[in-house]
Amino acid sequence: MVAMFSKTNEGEGNLEAESIIGKSVKIEGNFNGEGNIIVEGEVQGSIKTNKNLDVKAGAKITADVEAVNITIAGDVHGNVKCTNNLNIESTGKIIGDIETKIIAISAGAIIRGKITTEANEIKSSKTEKKNS
């Protein structure tokens, strides 16, 4: 089941989720959203949002994913593009290339692929300018 809702609790910060892909749900195709997405089930295709993506433990994604902030505790088989913070939990697994500004990897996480961070790009462009 895909639930669509928006909820804000005062005193607890903003808890907004526009889309939740439940544990018993399997989606095939391109999933595009403007809000926060929580994945607990399976997705095959692609996931893209202008907000945050939270891949819960037990979730299985065979897709390229793109979001502003991403937390991965499940399995992702595809490329990950994160424009801000990528957090890979100890149960998280990524098989694919990663492009992000900031990355945090917990002990036990599995990554197979190339990791590119903005810091690497800034460093290499400064080196190129010095060598010119």
- Boundaries of every domain in the chain: 2-127
Which residue would you say has higher pLDDT here, 12 or 57? 57
82 contacts: CB under 8 Å, gap ≥ 6? 66, 67, 68, 69, 70, 98, 99, 100, 101, 103
Span 83-122, pLDDT tens digits: 999 999 999 999 999 999 999 999 999 999 999 997 655 4
Query: Which contiguous run of DSSP H or E holds residue 81?
Result: strand 80-88
The SS3 of residue 24 is coil
Half-sphere exposure at residue 30, Cβ-oriented, CA atoms within 13 angstroms: 4
Residue 26 reports pLDDT greater than 80? yes
Q: What is the band of 8 on the pLDDT scale with cuts at 50, 70, 90?
A: very low
**Residues 48, 39: Cα–Cα separation, whole Å:** 12
Mean pLDDT throughout 76-87? Answer: 97
Using an 8 Å Cβ cutoff, are 10 and 27 in contact?
no
> What global pTM score does this model have?
0.78
